[in-house]
Structure 1
């Protein structure tokens, strides 16, 4: 390819297009070699760009790793709409459990393991968890329940929305494996989440 053609190709890949290429490349690195093996050089080579282009957007390897994981998580997230809060909550929690056992879940567990020795990565993961697409999905479920009259307006609260995933993560930590029986998922929704949602209507 002639130099002017190469320059033309590089010129077209700017802004969002270049960022998407870098995130895709970083996600593939996380899948294939894990966070420990992911380097800015490898990502740049896979994305067909240079390290400076990456550092301008993500100043550290940790920042790039978390951004790549979040891109994966948000891309695969679908908010269920079964017509009831119980059905929506069970569907979303089951989907989250399935994801944890998927290649995406392997990436997240790898990041969490690496975070034990990387304070910057741990801080970024905590920040990501606080504003993740999953939390937004639970809020959407609650807002729909309010609109249907299944819950009071006060139930659509970020703390309430975070409870099912916090309990699910607790099960992972307790069992040491990404396998939680479906009856436990049902208990989280039916015995904890739904009573909490209904209780938000008391005294409001």
Structure 2
């Protein structure tokens, strides 16, 4: 039975449903975010671009912010690749530099807008930041980078700890908050890696519990 709530379609065209309709909605929402930011993301505009109606969107996402989070995850998942230089330090610096560049890019503006709009909804904030949910593509990349270091023997398996994985990006976000600027000097990124991240990894590798 066709899914109710799909919008106008050309005569003879099959009615979209399930994953096909969901993909069209997310693609339209990602386009709106890229062009107009969070402020321009409306259910009406997404429905128009996706060729559906608002009821079909609301059945999947209860608010425009929830839709925006899902669309942002789609955007960042397509953009993030995992560096593999053969060195944990070099991989870590590359990831921090990418994150720093992203934060000052249009993607960073979208992310800041979504964080502000989702401020009263912890579940949406978790989706933006949780690598297991796909919300934080950089978090997943850090896990992969540290996992490779373990495989190379550069770090012990117990170094692959969620607190260790999240530390560099958490410190970078703190720099944005305390400095009030959209980009952090490269020297600070080097400090985060050399003075905090690598000592955490080596401390756990040496058998000292860091948390």
Equivalent in the alignment of 2:57:
54
CA deviation profile, 1:99-125 (whole Å, cap 9, x unmatched): 111111111111123334xx13x5302
**Hey, which bits of structure 1, 4+ residues long, moved more than 4 A?**
none
Residue 96 (structure 1) shift: 0.9
CA deviation profile, 1:122-167 (whole Å, cap 9, x unmatched): 5302333023222111111111000000000001111111011001
Cα separation, 1, equivalents of 2:42 and 2:70: 14
Cα separation, 1, equivalents of 2:195 and 2:46: 45
Q: Is the 8 A contact 2:69 2:127 kept in 1?
A: no
Cα separation, 2, equivalents of 1:71 and 1:9: 27
CA deviation profile, 1:33-79 (whole Å, cap 9, x unmatched): 33233221111001111212212221222210111111111111110
Residue 169 (structure 1) shift: 0.3
Cα separation, 2, equivalents of 1:141 and 1:8: 49
Query: How much is the aligned-residue C-alpha RMSD, in angstroms?
Result: 1.8
Pick from 26, 31, 34 the counterpart of residue 34 of structure 2. 31
Q: Which runs of 5+ in 1 are unaligned?
A: none
2:112 is equivalent to residue 137 of structure 1: no
TM-score by length of 1: 0.88
Equivalent in the alignment of 1:9:
13
Count matched residues: 196
Q: Is the 8 A contact 1:135 1:158 kept in 2?
A: no
Equivalent in the alignment of 2:78:
75
How do 1:82-93 and structure 2 match up within 5 A? 82-93=85-96
Write 1 or 2 for the structure with the bigger share of helix.
1
Equivalent in the alignment of 1:196:
200
Equivalent in the alignment of 1:115:
118
Residue 22 (structure 1) shift: 1.0
Equivalent in the alignment of 2:182:
178
Equivalent in the alignment of 1:149:
153
- Three-state SS of the structure 2 residue aligned to 1:35 is coil
Cα separation, 2, equivalents of 1:84 and 1:39: 44
Cα pair distance change 1:8/1:57, threshold 3 Å: farther
Q: Is the 8 A contact 2:118 2:124 kept in 1?
A: no
